[in-house]
Amino acid sequence: MAYRTKYVPLNQQKYVGNPNSINCRSLWERSVCKFCDVNENIVKWSFEEIMVPYHNPVDNKIRNYIPDFLVQIKNNDQVESWMIEVKPKKQTMLKENASKKEKLTWIVNVAKWKAAELYCQKHNFVFKLLTEKELFSNA
**What's the predicted TM-score (pTM) here?**
0.90
Q: What is the pLDDT of residues 12-33, one digit of tens each?
A: 999 999 999 999 999 999 999 9
Report d(CA 132, CA 126) in Å as an integer.
Answer: 19
Q: Which residues contact 130 (CB under 8 A, 6 or more apart)?
A: 28, 32, 84, 85, 86, 87
Q: What is the pLDDT of residues 31-80, one digit of tens each?
A: 999 999 999 999 999 999 999 999 999 999 999 999 999 999 998 889 99
Enumerate the active-site residues: 29, 68, 87
Residue 34: predicted pLDDT: 96
77 within 8 A of 60, measured Cβ to Cβ: no
